C-alpha cells in the first residue's frame, strides 16, 4: 500500500511541475516566434524526447523514472496537442507547414531520444 501511494505521489509531483513548465515554455515560444508552425509544442516535445532518452539511459531507479519520466515528462510533452495543431494546419490549407511540422516532430523526436539515450 505504501509503495503504491509513494508512486502516485511521485507521478503527481512530477506532473505538477511538468505541466507548469509546459505552459510557461509554450506561451513564451508562441509569443516569441509567432508562425504557422507551432514552435512551442515542437520545442517542448523535442526537448522532452531528448531528456527522456537521457533519463532512461542513466537512471535505473524506479523512483526517478516515476517522478521525471512518467510525471514530469508525461505532463510536459504533449502528443495530443501536436495532433490537434496538425489538424488545424491541414484545415487551414497550410500543407508545407504541416509537412515540416510533422517531419520535425516525429523524425526529430526519434533522433533526439536516440541521442539522449546514447550520449
- Which residues belong to the annotated binding site for Na(+)? 74, 77
Which positions make up the binding site? 74, 77
Phi-psi region for residue 33, left (φ > 0), alpha (ψ -120 to 50) or beta? beta
Q: Which residues of 62-94 are buried (b: 16+ CB within 10 A; e: fewer)?
A: eeebbbbbbbbbbbbbbeebbeebbeebeeeeb
Amino acid at each position: 500500500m505504501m509503495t503504491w501511494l509513494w508512486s502516485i505521489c511521485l507521478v503527481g509531483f512530477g506532473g505538477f511541475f511538468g505541466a507548469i513548465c509546459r505552459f510557461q515554455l509554450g506561451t513564451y515560444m508562441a509569443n516569441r516566434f509567432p508562425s504557422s508552425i507551432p514552435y512551442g509544442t515542437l520545442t517542448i516535445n523535442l526537448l522532452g524526447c531528448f531528456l527522456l532518452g537521457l533519463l532512461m539511459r542513466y537512471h535505473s531507479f524506479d523512483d526517478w523514472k516515476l517522478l521525471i519520466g512518467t510525471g514530469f515528462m508525461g505532463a510536459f510533452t504533449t502528443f495530443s496537442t501536436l495532433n490537434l495543431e496538425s489538424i488545424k494546419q491541414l484545415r487551414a490549407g497550410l500543407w508545407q507547414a504541416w509537412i515540416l511540422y510533422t517531419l520535425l516532430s516525429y523524425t526529430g523526436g526519434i533522433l533526439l531520444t536516440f541521442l539522449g539515450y546514447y550520449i
